[in-house]
Amino acid sequence: MVLQRSWTTSLLFLAVIAGGVRPGVAQDTLDPREIEITGSWVRSIEPTLADPVAAAKLGVYDHLAFGKGRFVRIDGKSRKNAVLTLEGEAKFLVRLFDLTGFDTKMLSARAEYYFGGILSKIERNPQGGIEVSVTYSNLSEVEGRFYSRQAREFAGRTQEIRERNEVLLGKAKAEAPVSSQPSESGLPQPPAGVPPTVKPEPAKTSSEEAAEDATEPGQPRNRPVLKRRNRSGSDPAATEGDPPSPAPPVHPTQSADDDDVVIYRRRDGSRRTAKSSSSPDVTPATEDSSDRPVLRRAPDRRELAKEVDGMMLIPEGYTTLGSDNPEDSDKPMHRVLVKSFYIDKHEVSNADYKQFCEATGHRVPPYWQEKNYPKGLDKHPVVQVSWLDATAYARWAGKRLPTETEWERAAKGPNSYRYSYGNTYDPQKANTDGQKASAAGAYPANEFGLFDMTGNASEWTNSLNLPYPYSEAEGREDLKAPGPRTVRGGDFTSTERDSRCLVRQNELSDHGSPRLGFRCARDAR
């Protein structure tokens, strides 16, 4: 009896080491982060795939996934993948990426294999079938769930990112009851009795409350914008010539000699100033000074909202750069972690750019006449601006240009679509294959609430146009580095192929184009 129990225990230990746990065993329950890919499961979500918004709410991407399929073939050149069918149905395909060379050699036609990995994409192919992409894949001829070390690490990191983003987006409330049951998205929640990692917001001081204008219930309060003034009392944004260089961030322990002025914006567009009690000699800003004061401080937690001053918060997450298509030049395909950031909802318009030119004396674009844009184009994107012009505007506005990784993360949305609106090309959802640019908001926003990320005007990014893989350590974001900069997004003349989010173009930093504009970004912390 002792010998038999010891032998049974050894077998169980070996099964755990191998990673295989039989799904059919009653005691074996699915981890909330696990998804079993079967033909019936694909059939159940098939109607949802026709609607990109509904598909985005499935909440299944980047989860551990396992299943069984029949091997068909090996596809791909630069990045090979094994194609399997589910339950023998040719229209339900699973593509396994990142297999080892040993795995690809052991495959034999019509044989069945058990697989595990990370569920990364579900889409309909041109033949009408459905393809499920699994990355960091592992294979076995023995029944069970087999996950590679990379898959488990990726799932763990993704879970941590989701939890941080929930706090960042305000979904986790310290006072709300905490459940140990899985959420609707299939992710586990903290057990009862364990408070979520949300720091309480600091209480407002009496001076802050007095500084804010009263608003109607449900309306956003006015947010003070800190504007730096120089020793002479002149306004940097109102000086003639080149735009001013950004001042260093305001430190919490700054002395009264630093001459800070807080400018409050009202909802009707007017402004008033509050003189700092510690700086009695500061000259208040006048009504004719710049309407877009430079932000010289990091936003506090109260400002980490989904939308702030016409900018949308993009939560931290991964984006896939490059392509494994032989016809595309940007290789290899690779994933990059992008930290949370804010980006403009709309491309910078002619009206926005006019404020900048009037405040700084900066030169206007060539198509303007008498320092004014053509009539009726106030909400159209400003074009024929160089990278140097766009950088100057961003610096004046207290922002910066987005990196190309940030731009692609924002454009593809949380589900990494081929176009900003989905995986199927549709010129009715973006200004492509057309003759001229359109005004902001003429086409629907993507899932992050951003407009015209596909088409309309292509957009400058901050990044040097260097070969992939992307690495910030190479100095790609150095403002002083020479070389062409990366342009993203396609324009109103772009074709189905050219308007994909992954397409990169380049342009010299001192050149402009009638189809090239920009939008700004800034850090979220």
CA pair distance 20, 41, nearest whole angstrom: 21
CATH class of 302-525: alpha beta
What is the strand order of the sheet 521-523 is part of?
307-308, 311-314, 341-344, 521-523
Predicted local distance difference test score (pLDDT) of residue 48:
84
Helical ranges in 179-326 per DSSP H: 206-211
C-alpha to C-alpha distance for 302 and 223, rounded to whole angstroms = 10
> What mean pLDDT is reported for the chain?
75
Question: Does the predicted model carry a pTM greater than 0.75?
Answer: no
Single out the residue of 148, 519, 149 nearest to residue 342, CA to CA. 519
Query: What pLDDT score was predicted for residue 22?
Result: 36
pLDDT recorded at residue 503: 95
Fold (CATH) for 2-157? OB fold (Dihydrolipoamide Acetyltransferase, E2P) (2.40.50)
- For residues 415 and 437, what is the distance between their CA atoms, to the nearest angstrom? 27
Cα separation, 68 vs 84, in Å, equals: 9
Tokens 């993360």 sit at which residue? 409
Arithmetic mean of pLDDT, 359-387: 95
Residue that has been written with the tokens 């009726």 in this structure: 376
- Distance, in Å, from the CA atom of 275 to the CA atom of 200, rounded to the nearest integer, reads 29
Give the C-alpha separation, 442 to 456, whole Å.
10
pLDDT band at 361 (very low <50, low <70, confident <90, very high): very high
Confidence of residue 29 (pLDDT cuts 50, 70, 90): low
* pLDDT band with cut points at 50, 70 and 90 for residue 235: very low
The more confident residue out of 375 and 13 is: 375
Strand-pair partners of 227: 261
Domain boundaries, the chain: 2-157, 213-297, 302-525
pLDDT at residue 383 tops 80: yes
Q: How wide is the angle at C-alpha 496 spanned by C-alphas 494 and 499, nearest 5°?
A: 50
Alpha-carbon gap, residue 384 to 510, rounded angstroms: 10
**pLDDT band, very low/low/confident/very high, at 115 (cuts 50, 70, 90):** very high
Q: Percentage of the chain surpassing pLDDT 90?
A: 44
Q: Quick one: average pLDDT of 64-91? A: 88
Tens digits of residue pLDDT in 279-300: 333 333 333 333 334 433 444 4
pLDDT in tens, 391-401: 999 999 999 99
**Which band of pLDDT confidence, cut at 50, 70 and 90, is reported for residue 329?**
confident
Task: Answer with the residue of higher pLDDT: 117 or 252.
Answer: 117
Rounded mean pLDDT of 474-494?
Answer: 94
Using one digit for the tens of pLDDT, what is the confidence trace for 403-424?
A: 999 999 999 999 889 999 999 9
pLDDT band at 487 (very low <50, low <70, confident <90, very high): very high
pLDDT band at 222 (very low <50, low <70, confident <90, very high): very low
Does residue 383 contact residue 517 with C-beta atoms inside 8 Å?
A: yes
